[in-house]
Amino acid sequence: MNDLTDYLKTDNKHSSLSRVIKSNAFKAALLSGLTILSLASVQANVQAKTLPIEQIVLPAGFSIDVYAENVENARQMALGDNGTLFVGSRRAGNLYALIDTNKDFKADKQIVLAKDLFLPSGITFHDGSLYVAEVDKIWRYRDIEKHLPNVPEPELVYDQLPDKSHHGWKFIKFGPDGNLYIPVGAPCNVCDDALPFASILKLDVDTKETTIVAKGVRNSVGFDFHPDTGELWFTDNGRDMMGDDLPDDELNHVTQVGQHFGFPYVHNANVKDPEFYDAEKAKLNTPPALNLGAHVAALGMEFYQGEQFPAEYKGRIFIAQHGSWNRSSKVGYRIMQVTLDGNKVSDYQPFATGWLQGEVSWGRPVAVLTMPDGSMLVSDDAANAVYRISYSEN
């Protein structure tokens, strides 16, 4: 039953109530009440859509503004040569182009490039073309900015990826070697499935040849390449159902092709998996460069190479922590910064916090992207927004 009318149609026992409802006085009162309720609902929705960015805490000199709103389920971002910001999504199934036409650091035009895609979280821009990762396919939109606002027909680049949706959404990026790097998450909380599950591979988009770069990777949804060495660094989400504090999410560093990072046999440096621990296979484990905290859901990351932030920020790793979903008290929901001394972590501190207020979150950071002016964009798939973090000495 959808409303009072359906209720009256389905139960004759309420005939007296029916006569009352048919009276003009009752109808007027009902309409008045519904109007009040409707107005209250509208006001509540408006208030819910007001993003409380004043709650975000940043280091001195930094500020945050909304770059774009109403970007449903905003995930990985990519910047075109002409300044178009492309944004993927996960459950929304959409692909967006955001344009700041008047150069005021706020997107004022949104184009939905595609709908109903299969968790199109991962996107990257390379040689004038936009690459989009569904769970099982990679697509290319050639010379896309030359076509906008029209959308060119996408070309299928690769369709040999597994079609499992569990941890199947992607984060993709071209490496210094010209290959497209693609994580393939484990199709489970914890399991021992055959490759390419639980790995990061690279794809030659011309020959279609793939190489497994890293194994034993449960679910990486963020990585970048060291600006000096070109080596791959990536975040990895730890398994669930081992309690509030085990295992940690990880920041990992690949130093040789085919390196193993422990999953599912061992987590972090030496946390034995209660179901899959194997002493011999655990010897393959490469310990993380940094434990990031259990259940923080570390996703997108980037080495900061901009010029706007103070000089000491150059080369730091910024990591978006999406936030816990099954911990007894919530953690994450923030941007963290990692300082390296060579290849060793020397410091790990919060950079932007405030999306979590007590046990209530109003946003969930997903990815970070440095803009040409040195400011940083942050996507938020819960608040359907993209933020801009900037620095000024004044």
Residue by residue, pLDDT tens for the chain (394 residues) are 333 223 223 233 333 333 333 333 333 333 333 332 332 333 333 334 589 999 999 999 999 999 999 999 999 999 999 999 999 999 999 999 999 999 999 999 999 999 999 999 999 999 999 999 999 999 999 999 999 999 999 999 999 999 999 999 999 999 999 999 999 999 999 999 999 999 999 999 999 999 999 999 999 999 999 999 999 999 999 999 999 999 999 999 999 999 999 999 999 999 999 999 999 999 999 999 999 999 999 999 999 999 999 999 999 999 999 999 999 999 999 999 999 999 999 999 999 999 999 999 999 999 999 999 999 999 999 999 999 999 999 7
One-letter amino acid for residue 104 of the chain: D
User: In terms of Cα–Cα distance, which of 154, 174, 151, 75 is closest to 119?
Assistant: 75
pLDDT (0 to 100) of residue 50: 86
| Burial class of residue 256, CB neighbours in 10 A (0-12, 13-18, 19+) | exposed
pTM, two decimal places: 0.87
Q: Each residue of 368-381: b (16+ CB within 10 Å) or e?
A: bbbbeebbbbbbbb
User: What is the residue whose two structure tokens read 């999306």?
Assistant: 355
pLDDT (0 to 100) of residue 394: 79
Alpha carbon 275 to chain centroid, angstroms: 29
Q: Each residue of 259-288: b (16+ CB within 10 Å) or e?
A: bbbbbbbbbbeebebeebeeeebbeebbeb
pLDDT (0 to 100) of residue 92: 98
Backbone angles phi, psi at 37, to 5 degrees: -65, -40
**Helices 24-49 and 15-22 meet at what angle, rounded to 10?**
80
